[in-house]
């Protein structure tokens, strides 16, 4: 047996390991969510690096940012500082890369070499066993298969749960309330954990509100109001004290800020953009600015995010700001982050939708994602969308818990927008406003019934309102 290959140095890269540790110390807030998702201490080849990362990981899980100072203090406390090279080596690591922007690719490089080393160890063990006389070939092959499969399992964050685990998880999600009855007795009620309201009564009646772990898809053709509805849902939740993270892959945070002002003040977005405002309108804007600035809303306008990058940023939002809900506008502008000639757009969108569902499940929050539809509605006499119109992938329909389709008849008929009132009615102070009637088709509802309801899109203000009735003039 030729064993010359066994004398070779196993796959590793000191430079990549140093780059990952450098990024952690330079920018722990941004680097640790990414690195902790990819690497364990054992994935580092050098034991000194394993110990440094182990301490960094422990600090991060305790809510402490593992920068150079914190790492140095903790390494000294556990008597590892001299072993890893002392203060001088830590400061040498900080200078290993100019910035932390490439930490994901560096961490992937470390992970890939670790997987190769583990695979080589499995194969070496198999070869040694295969040379032993009397071993059953099928048992050997079965053992090899299980060990190789174990490598894939280490890349997954999902774990099996017993029936007891599942029941306990459900039981813990319920709350017990006591209600006084008319006869003086007290009745106990078992209620599910409160959901996040959409801010629209009819929509909440159908969906029951947004539940943790749900993936909600808002699907529509362009100009139907996907972003306006997503922003309305975010604003409605934030006004009710819920903490919302909004990822906009299409629109800058400046434009989103302008839209929020228009939605809140009922001043046309075009007027705000051009600065054509009266003194009263400027006073309204100032008041709205002060109100909106206090809301628990966070925006990320980074374009072209991969699933893994979105997951890392979402984790960071949850860790730092304790967000209760995340919105993504929109999913077709994401990419899978997987480089392979075997992946076409359909399989890539399947990976993205599965990734979004995974984020919602892992972080235990509802995730709302806008989705473009294919051109099929344009080619039908009835332009109303159906589930098969979800663009590029049937997996979106499968992964989603709730699918909402938006449809505006006036978009296709060029009909003049109808006039609608506000929920509280209108008068001289609050006159009727031209708005578009929008059909909201709850086409899929995993935890309830499907139904059709209506909202009003105030297009000038890019704001959705409850639909009342037509022709109030």
Same domain? 79 vs 205: no
Burial environment of residue 19 by CB neighbours within 10 A (0 to 12, 13 to 18, 19 or more): buried
Residue 457 belongs to domain with CATH number? 3.40.50.300
Same domain? 242 vs 109: no
Tell me the whole-structure pTM to 2 decimals: 0.61
pLDDT in tens, 370-405: 988 878 777 777 888 888 777 665 678 788 899 999
Question: Higher model confidence: residue 37 or residue 451?
Answer: 451
Same domain? 49 vs 141: yes
Closest CA to 297 of 232, 211, 207: 232
pLDDT recorded at residue 166: 61
Range of the structural domain that residue 247 is part of? 201-466
Split at pLDDT 50, 70, 90, the class of 45 is very high
3-state secondary structure 390-412: ECCCCHHHHHCCEEEEEEEHHHH
8 A C-beta contact, residue 380 and residue 423: no
Whether 415 is in a domain gets the answer: yes
> What is the distance between the alpha carbons of residues 39 and 27, in angstroms, rounded to a whole number?
17
- 154, 189, 213 - which closes a domain: 154
- Quick one: how many helices (H) and strands (E) in the chain? 17, 12
Instruction: Give the residues across from 177 on adjacent strands.
Output: 189
Same domain? 144 vs 225: no
Whether 472 is in a domain gets the answer: no
Whether 170 is in a domain gets the answer: no
Whether 255 is in a domain gets the answer: yes
- Active-site choice (87, 250, 418, 460): 250
Our count of domains for the chain comes to 2
Same domain? 135 vs 249: no
pLDDT in tens, 225-253: 889 999 999 999 999 889 999 998 888 88
Whether 161 is in a domain gets the answer: no
Mean pLDDT of 91-95: 85
Whether 111 is in a domain gets the answer: yes
- 465 noted as active-site residue: no
Whether 165 is in a domain gets the answer: no
- Say how many residues make up the chain: 473
Same domain? 133 vs 35: yes
Whether 179 is in a domain gets the answer: no
């Amino acid at each position: 047996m030729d064993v010359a290959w066994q004398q070779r140095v196993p796959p590793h890269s000191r430079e990549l390991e140093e780059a990952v540790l450098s990024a952690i110390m330079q920018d722990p807030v941004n680097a640790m969510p990414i690195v902790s998702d990819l690497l364990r201490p054992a994935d580092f080849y050098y034991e000194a690096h394993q110990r440094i990362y182990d301490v960094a990981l422990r600090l991060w899980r305790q809510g402490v940012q593992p920068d150079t100072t914190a790492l140095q203090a903790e390494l000294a406390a556990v008597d590892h500082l001299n072993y890893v090279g002392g203060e001088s080596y830590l400061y040498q690591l900080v200078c290993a890369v100019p910035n932390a922007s490439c930490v994901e690719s560096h961490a992937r490089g470390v992970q890939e070499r670790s997987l190769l080393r583990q695979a080589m160890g499995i194969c070496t063990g198999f070869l040694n066993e295969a040379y032993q006389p009397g071993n059953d070939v099928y048992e050997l092959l079965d053992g090899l298969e299980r060990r190789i499969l174990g490598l894939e399992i280490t890349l997954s964050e999902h774990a099996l749960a017993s029936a007891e685990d599942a029941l306990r998880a459900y039981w813990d999600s319920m709350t017990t309330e006591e209600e006084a009855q008319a006869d003086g007795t007290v009745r106990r009620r078992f209620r599910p954990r409160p959901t996040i309201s959409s801010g629209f009564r009819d929509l909440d009646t159908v969906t029951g509100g947004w539940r943790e772990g749900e993936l909600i898809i808002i699907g529509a053709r362009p100009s139907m109001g996907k972003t306006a509805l997503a922003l309305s849902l975010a604003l409605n939740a934030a006004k009710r004290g819920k903490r919302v993270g909004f990822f906009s892959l299409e629109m800058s945070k400046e434009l989103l800020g302008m839209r929020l002002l228009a939605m809140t003040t009922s001043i046309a977005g075009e007027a705000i953009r051009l600065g054509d405002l009266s003194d009263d309108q400027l006073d309204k804007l100032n008041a709205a600015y002060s109100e909106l600035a206090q809301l628990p809303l966070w925006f990320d306008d980074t374009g072209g995010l991969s699933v893994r990058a979105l997951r890392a940023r979402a984790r960071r939002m949850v860790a730092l700001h304790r967000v209760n809900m995340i919105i993504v506008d929109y999913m077709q502008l994401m990419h899978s982050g997987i480089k392979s000639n075997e992946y076409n757009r359909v399989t890539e969108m399947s990976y993205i939708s599965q990734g979004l569902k995974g984020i919602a499940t892992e972080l235990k929050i509802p995730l709302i994602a806008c989705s473009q539809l294919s051109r099929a509605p344009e080619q039908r006499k009835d332009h109303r969308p159906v589930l098969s119109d979800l663009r590029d992938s049937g997996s979106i329909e499968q992964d989603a818990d709730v699918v909402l389709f938006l449809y505006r008849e006036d978009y296709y008929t060029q009909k003049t927008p109808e006039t609608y009132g506000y929920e509280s009615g209108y008068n001289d102070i609050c006159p009727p406003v031209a708005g578009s009637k929008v059909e909201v088709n709850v086409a899929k509802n995993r935890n309830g019934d499907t139904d059709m309801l209506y909202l009003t899109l105030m297009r000038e203000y890019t704001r959705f309102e409850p639909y009342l009735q037509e022709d109030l003039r």
